[in-house]
Structure 1
C-alpha cells in the first residue's frame, strides 16, 4: 500500500506518525518533569514554613510565656500557648497571595484544644511516625472535605521540658488553662515523645495548575516548531526531489515519443545531478543503438534487394 503512495503523501504520513509519537513521548516526559519540579517547590516551601513554626514554638515557650509569670495562674492568655501563636502567625502568612492556598495543622492524638484532634488519616500518619523513628517526613495526597490535597507532614515531638508544664498532669498545668479546656485532654505527654504531626497541605490544583499551564505552553511551542520544520522539509522535498523527478519523467516520456533533441539539464551537483548525467549518457547510448539498428536494417534491406535481383536474372536465363 505504501509503495503506491506519492512521495509527498508518504513523507507527510510518516512525518505525522513520527511527530505524534514524539509529542506523546515528550509530553509525558515534560509533564512528569514539570510536575515533579512543582511538587518539589511546594515541599521546599512547606519545609521552610514548618521550621518557622517550630521557631515560633521555641520563641513563645522561651521568651513570651515567662513574661506573663503568675498571671497565667489567674488568667488564661492564648498568646502564651505556642500552638496558638504558631496558628496565628501562619494565618497572617496566608494573607500573602503566594501562600493563601496553604493550610497548616498541628494534629495531635491527645491535644488540649479539640480542634487540633487528629482525624483517622492523620492518626495513621502519627502512628507511622511513632513506629518508624528514623522517618523525618512524609508527603503525598489525601482527600479532605471533597478536595484533593497534597500534604507534607513531619513528626511533632516534645523536645522542650517547658512543654510539660501544660501537658504533664492537670495538677501541674496552669489553673487558667485547665479552667479553659478541662482536665480530660492534652495531658500525659512525655519528653521526646511523638505526640502528633506537623502538616501543611495545599490543593492539588494549586500545586499543578500553573505547572499544567506551563506544559501546554511548552508543548504548543514544540508543536509550532515541528509544524514549521515539516513545512520547510516538505518545501525542500518538493523543490529538490519531487519536482526534479517529475521533470525527468516528463523528459523521458518525450524522448521515448521521438523528441530526441531534448536533454536532461544537469544543474545539480548531488544525487539528482548524477542521475541526470547518467540519463543523458543512457540517452546517447540509446540513440547510438537506434542508429546502429537503422544501419543494420538498411544493410539487410539492400542485401535482400540484391538477392532478389540475382534470383530474377538467373530465372530469366
Structure 2
C-alpha cells in the first residue's frame, strides 16, 4: 500500500468522523434555534393578547359604561377583545391561534377541548409558581408548539359576572343565559390562555440550512482532498520517486544523474542533500578502487 493510499484512507476516516460529529452538532443546534424562534413568536403573540386585554380594560371599557347598563357588549370583555383581535390574524395565518380555554365559560366557543382541559388541570393541581407550560403537539395542519398560561380569578370584580346568575348583569344573562360561566371562586384557576404556533416553516428552514451547510462542508472536503493530494504528489511522492530511481541507477554504478536541489530546509530537501553526499562518496570510492 503506497503513501498516497495510506494518506487518503487516513484523511477519509478523519473527514468521515468530523462530518458525522459536525452534522450531529449542527443539526441539533439548528433544530434548537428553530424551536427557540417558534417560542419567541408564540411569546410575542401571548404578549399581544395581554396588551389587548389591558387596553380593553383601561381604554375601551370606561367609555362603554353607560351603554353596558342598557345592553351587554362582549367587546368590553378583555378575553373577548383579545380573542376577536387575534382571530383577525388567523384569516391570513390559520395555523396561528389564540384561545382563552375555560372549563366553564360564559361564551361556549371558549370551552376547553380535551387537551386544553388537561393543561388547565395541570395548572389547577400545580403550585402557584407554575406560570407557563410550553409543549408540542400534532394538529390537522401539522406540528405546532403551544404556550399556555393559567387564567386565575385574582380580581374580585370578576365574580360580579361569574359567581352566581343572580349577581350577574341582566343584560349578560339575556345574551348568554344562566347555564354557563358561573361558580367561579376567587384565586381559582378556571382556564388557560393558549397560543399555538406552527413549527413547520422554521423547521423546514432549519432543515434547508442544515442541508446547505453539509453540502458546503462536503464541497470543502473534496476541494481540500484534491489540493492535499496535489501537494502530496508534488512535495513528497515525486521527490521520493526520483530518489528511488536515482538510487537504483547508483546501485548499478551509474553516477550520471543530476543532484537533487538542496535549497530548502524541509525533510525532503535534507534527504536529497544526504543522498547527494552519499552519491558523491560512492563515486569517489569507486574511482579510488578503479585507480
Q: TM-score range, shorter-chain basis?
A: 0.7 to 0.9
Unaligned runs of 5+ in 2: none
List aligned pairs for 1:1-317, cutoff 5 A: 4=1, 6-69=2-65, 71-72=67-68, 74-94=70-90, 101-130=95-124, 131-145=126-140, 147-267=142-262, 268-288=264-284, 290=286
Shift of 1:119: 2.2
Q: Partner of 1:17: helix, strand, or coil?
A: helix
Please give the alpha-carbon distance, in whole angstroms, between the structure 2 residues aligned to 1:156 and 1:28: 40
**Superposition TM-score, scaled by structure 1 size:** 0.80
Higher relative contact order, structure no. (Cα contacts within 8 Å, ≥ 6 residues apart): 2
1:254-284 per-residue CA deviation (whole Å, 9 max, x = no partner) reads 2223322224412433100111111222233
**Superposition TM-score, scaled by structure 2 size:** 0.87
Q: Partner of 1:215: helix, strand, or coil?
A: helix
Does structure 2 retain, via aligned residues, the 8 Å contact 1:74–1:176? yes
Does structure 2 retain, via aligned residues, the 8 Å contact 1:153–1:197? yes
Instruction: Count how many residue pairs are aligned between Structure 1 and Structure 2.
Output: 289
Does structure 1 retain, via aligned residues, the 8 Å contact 2:152–2:189? yes
Please give the alpha-carbon distance, in whole angstroms, between the structure 2 residues aligned to 1:230 and 1:249: 26
Does structure 2 retain, via aligned residues, the 8 Å contact 1:168–1:188? yes
Does structure 1 retain, via aligned residues, the 8 Å contact 2:74–2:80? yes
**Deviates further, 160-169 or 150-159:** 160-169
Unaligned runs of 5+ in 1: 296-317
Does structure 1 retain, via aligned residues, the 8 Å contact 2:31–2:203? yes
CA distance 1:208–1:132, change in 2 (3 Å): farther
CA distance 1:142–1:136, change in 2 (3 Å): same
